[in-house]
Chains A and B, each alone.
Chain A
Amino acid sequence: MTAAIEVAGLWLAYPGADTAALRDVAFSVQRGELMLIAGPSGAGKSTLCSCLRGLVPNTIVAETRGQVKVAGRQVLGPEPVPSSDDVALVLQDAEAQIIGMSVEDDLAFGPENYGVPAEEIRARISEVLDLVGLRGLEKRDTYALSGGQKQRLAIASALMIRPAILILDEPTSELDPVGKAQVLEIISNLRTETSTTVVIVEHEIGRFASVADTMLLLDHGAVAAYGNPASLVSDIELFERVGGERPPPAAELARRMRDARLVECPSYGLDLGRALADIERELESHGSCSR
């Protein structure tokens, strides 16, 4: 079975830049999987998202090498590649990606560009608004939406073209915790209820790593780590070296406890509950041993 996304030897430099924005990036994402991309500011995460969406070199001018295959098509090349409705991209700035004056108009923009008939568009509108929890707001003016609602509208608009692959570039960074939780719920539902492949860039590793199937950590344009999220997030040295991300509390606690020779527990990734239970048990037994 071919992977939904296959990246090999990806190298990218913006015109006039001293260093490459992406250096020898390689990874793959299987159909229906959720990949989490993390890394400090400037690591190249947004650039990578633009490549996956096929915006390079059509919209964004850059020198590139390597291969990016998305939904079976090569999307990276010296020649412009026609944009497809297999892939959708949600950007960080919700305001700049809302084009329509009303919710309905904005949702229609994407499918209109691909010639989807009007009745089909209307059918998809109510479906998609249910998915993001904005039911009944079809006629609402977009400027009157809250920040969280705008971001959810952006996700809904992306889903209107029924993409096989959905890419989200830091969708929650400008939202409050309630907004972040809502986006997480939408993404989790997408993963469990549909076969959409999802790639999400996030700083809140703890929140999303638990639902991700695979994880990529970028540092200065290169892959610092790639693999299973649970094992990746328990590697504290990795986080300290790369910087820019807060390690999950369970991992940090376990490592510091081990360094202080208080316990000998294994590494923990995301499960703070289990980490605390094991640490408590060990500390108690140490206490009783000394008697």
Chain B
Amino acid sequence: MAPAVASFTENVISVRDLTFSYPGTAVPILRKVNLEVRRGEFIALLGSNGAGKTTLAKHFNGLHCPTSGQVLLHGRPTTELGLRELAKIVGYCYQNPDHQIFSSSVENEVKFGPRNLGLTGEALASRVSEALAVVGMTEFAASNPFVLGRGRRQLLAVASILAMDPELLVVDEPTTGLDLSGAQQIMRVLGRWHEEGRTMVVITHDMDLVVEYTTRCVVMADGQIIDDGPTQEVLRHNDTMRAAGLEEPAVVTISDRLSRFGSARCKSIADVVADVGAHMEAEHAGRL
């Protein structure tokens, strides 16, 4: 699937002075939040539960409307766009796949989203088969989704949103309740999707996956953004990490401790070892 036609503005989402409280309540969940989401980024939205991550993300596709401030999608306020226009650009994948799955077959489930966007016939069928191929579930097309395991249901939920071909994908805690192989499977799918030119926003607590896949981290606490920058930098800001209740991933600790032996800011332990190995060889060769 090729990405959508290039748009005029560089930024997919612009959040300007966003304040939000639920209608009828006085307590603000988000307080004067400012954020720019640029095309092609893979952003991790971090923070403890109640910090406002999900509430912020739900403004991107118009599920929430600002109490004050603006949320712009390619320069246009989300409040002025219809549900279909928003859904065409921004896909939102919920944490629990059981909140979405309702069809009698995997294929029908994946068909639902694109059909709502107006696709029919050949175009619809090819969209569905492509989405199933991306998540590796082509052989399950006729299966009953309710008998699949949690990992496969998660992949199905992701596929049904991918089939809508959004430019920006928001994924809420994709790895909760999955074991390591399930988590890696999902993240690989999201990583490949991102490499094809899409923008990703992932809400997660899994710091190891944040280091491995994301390019930028936005840290939230108490309804505000307290840190925002490249992943490798934000993860080393101890004060904001602690304020948000986040732990430094092991690979960051290791990378820094062994930096004088050549490890650059690595994404995985394997990379650390490779860097150190290359550095030691170079040193050794240099001395001969």
A and B directly contacting (CB within 8 A): yes
Can you name 10 extra interface pairs (CB under 8 A) apart from A256-B273, A262-B277, A283-B261?
A: A41-B178, A177-B245, A203-B180, A249-B251, A253-B273, A260-B276, A272-B250, A280-B258, A283-B280, A291-B287
Query: Are B48 and A178 neighbours in the complex by a CB distance under 8 Å?
Result: yes
A contact residues, total (Cβ < 8 Å): 33
- B168 CB to nearest A CB, Å: 24
| Interface membership of A66, Cβ < 8 A | no
Q: Which of A245, A252, A262, A287 contacts B269 (CB 8 A)?
A: A252
A-B contact pairs, 13 of them (CB 8 A): A41-B149, A42-B149, A176-B48, A178-B49, A245-B180, A246-B180, A256-B270, A257-B273, A260-B274, A262-B273, A272-B250, A280-B258, A291-B287
Q: What residues on A are CB-neighbors of B182 within 8 Å?
A: 41
| Interface membership of B52, Cβ < 8 A | no
For B50, the closest partner residue in chain A by CB is: A146
Q: Which of A204-260 contact B (CB under 8 A)?
A: 243-246, 249, 252-253, 256-257, 260
Query: Are A40 and B176 neighbours in the complex by a CB distance under 8 Å?
Result: no
- A153 CB to nearest B CB, Å: 16
Q: What residues on A are CB-neighbors of B181 within 8 Å?
A: 40, 243-244
Known A246-B208, A276-B254, A290-B283; contact A173-B177, beta-carbon cutoff 8 A: yes
Q: Which of A177, A246, A262 contacts B205 (CB 8 A)?
A: A177
Cα distance A280–B262 when bound, in Å?
A: 12
Query: Are A178 and B245 neighbours in the complex by a CB distance under 8 Å?
Result: yes
Cα distance A280–B177 when bound, in Å?
A: 36
For A253, the closest partner residue in chain B by CB is: B269
- A91 CB to nearest B CB, Å: 13
Q: Which of A2-55 contact B (CB under 8 A)?
A: 40-42
Contact with A along B13-47 (1 / 0, CB 8 A): 00000000000000000000000000000000000
| Interface membership of B99, Cβ < 8 A | no
Known A244-B179, A256-B270; contact A177-B247, beta-carbon cutoff 8 A: yes
Closest A-B pairs by Cβ, 5 of them = A249-B250, A244-B179, A256-B273, A41-B179, A176-B49
Cα distance A283–B273 when bound, in Å?
A: 12
| Interface membership of B63, Cβ < 8 A | no
Contact with A along B95-115 (1 / 0, CB 8 A): 000000000000000000000
Cα distance A86–B183 when bound, in Å?
A: 36
For A174, A177, A291, the residue with the greatest tally of chain B CB atoms inside 10 Å of its CB is: A177
Q: What residues on B are CB-neighbors of A111 within 8 Å?
A: none
Cα distance A272–B249 when bound, in Å?
A: 12
Cα distance A249–B208 when bound, in Å?
A: 10
Cα distance A177–B47 when bound, in Å?
A: 9
Query: Are A283 and B258 neighbours in the complex by a CB distance under 8 Å?
Result: yes
Query: Are A173 and B176 neighbours in the complex by a CB distance under 8 Å?
Result: yes
Q: What residues on A are CB-neighbors of B205 within 8 Å?
A: 176-177
Query: Are B245 and A276 neighbours in the complex by a CB distance under 8 Å?
Result: no
- B251 CB to nearest A CB, Å: 7
For A176, the closest partner residue in chain B by CB is: B49
Contact with A along B239-282 (1 / 0, CB 8 A): 00000011100110110011001000000011011101100100
Known A146-B50, A148-B49; contact A272-B253, beta-carbon cutoff 8 A: yes
